[in-house]
Amino acid sequence: METIEVATEAARRGAAILRQYWEHLGREDADLKSRNDWVSRADRESEAAIVACIQEHFPEDQCLGEESGVIAATEGSGQPQRTWIIDPLDGTSNYLQHFPFWSISIGVRQRSQIVAGVIHEPLRDLFFTGERGAGAFRDGARMHVSTQESIEGAFLATGFPFRAQQFVGTYCSIFQDVIRVAKGVRRAGSAALDLAYTAAGVFDGFFELHLAPWDVAAGSLLVEEAGGIVTDFSGGDRHHERGNIVGAPPAVHRGLLDFIARYTTESRLDRRESGRHFDRRAKD
């Protein structure tokens, strides 16, 4: 099986578990990993099913799961060439509150580059897929970012930095400027789906602070393959490393960077400077 086929099958297996628990799990069935950061049985079982599927087909690859961390390859020796970056349930808070906006995200990194990605929305049975150089697709139909030419009149997605409290003031200043000119800004609670819908042209752009690799690995590739630009908050390429991400069509992307530059730069948002380690276990 090809990479995208395996990622799709793995997402289906994870989704089957999530649907079994859907509507029945609540916060009493979840553990609090850190402030406002929940993990449930569904997260763990979904991740286990996804990893098992990947290992069946690509035992020489390693995995990086949100709940399990690095999972070594089951065959081969030396440094694996590929890493599967897995969020088995992006939007756990939504899921536990029975708010129907959550997803599964699987990205494949070869050396330092994301080369493939799948985002699955189980409740609608939608698949967003992409491979580097081959385009991005929603259920097999090619996706394109929107043709929006400015922040004015744009329909945007974002996420609140409630796990990075030291930057709430900075974020709110950016948000205030954006909402003064944008048509609308939505905070739906699944960064992976926000990026997928940006790739599909539903949203005209997305920005968020301090995300984890599994939040953005697949979605960032989809936006790029759909004709958009994805960078960190200073227009650089450290969004996978640092977690501060802007993804949008070119003109909207420039506008968002201009708004952000009024209040901060990428170096000011470095987790290491703020005492927060990059590889934390954080999710929404």
For residue 66, what pLDDT band results from cuts at 50, 70 and 90?
confident
Q: Is the separation of the CB atoms in 239 and 231 below 8 Å?
A: yes
Give residue 77's pLDDT: 64
Q: Which of 142, 163, 190 is the last residue of a domain?
A: 142
Is residue 254 scored above 80 in pLDDT?
Answer: yes
Q: Which of 85, 120, 142 is the last residue of a domain?
A: 142
The answer to whether residue 166 is domain-embedded is: yes
Render pLDDT for 147-171 as a digit per residue (tens, 0 to 9): 999 999 999 999 998 777 888 999 9
| Neighbour count for residue 142 (Cβ, 10 Å) | 11
Are 137 and 8 in the same domain? yes
Are 133 and 204 in the same domain? no
Q: Is the separation of the CB atoms in 79 and 111 below 8 Å?
A: no
The answer to whether residue 70 is domain-embedded is: yes
Its domain, for residue 214, covers: 155-269
The answer to whether residue 169 is domain-embedded is: yes
Structure tokens, 87: 């969020």
Give residue 29's pLDDT: 56
Q: Which helix (H) or strand (E) covers residue 20, if one does?
A: helix 3-21
Q: Which of 142, 166, 200 is the last residue of a domain?
A: 142
The answer to whether residue 279 is domain-embedded is: no
Q: Which helix (H) or strand (E) covers residue 106, if one does?
A: strand 103-110
Sheet hosting strand 62-65, strand order edge to edge: 69-71, 62-65, 82-90, 103-110, 113-121, 126-131, 135-138, 141-142
Are 103 and 82 in the same domain? yes
Are 179 and 265 in the same domain? yes
Render pLDDT for 187-228 as a digit per residue (tens, 0 to 9): 999 999 999 999 999 999 999 999 999 999 999 999 999 999
Its sign, for the CA torsion 251, 252, 255, 260, is negative
CATH code of the domain in which 84 resides:
3.30.540.10
The answer to whether residue 29 is domain-embedded is: yes
Are 232 and 188 in the same domain? yes
Report pTM: 0.90
Burial class for 160, CB neighbours closer than 10 Å (0-12, 13-18, 19+): middle
Q: Say what percent of the chain tops pLDDT 70.
A: 89
Q: In the block, which residue shows the tokens 């916060």?
A: 27
Is residue 277 scored above 60 in pLDDT?
Answer: no
CATH code of the domain in which 189 resides:
3.40.190.80
* Number of separate domains in the chain: 2
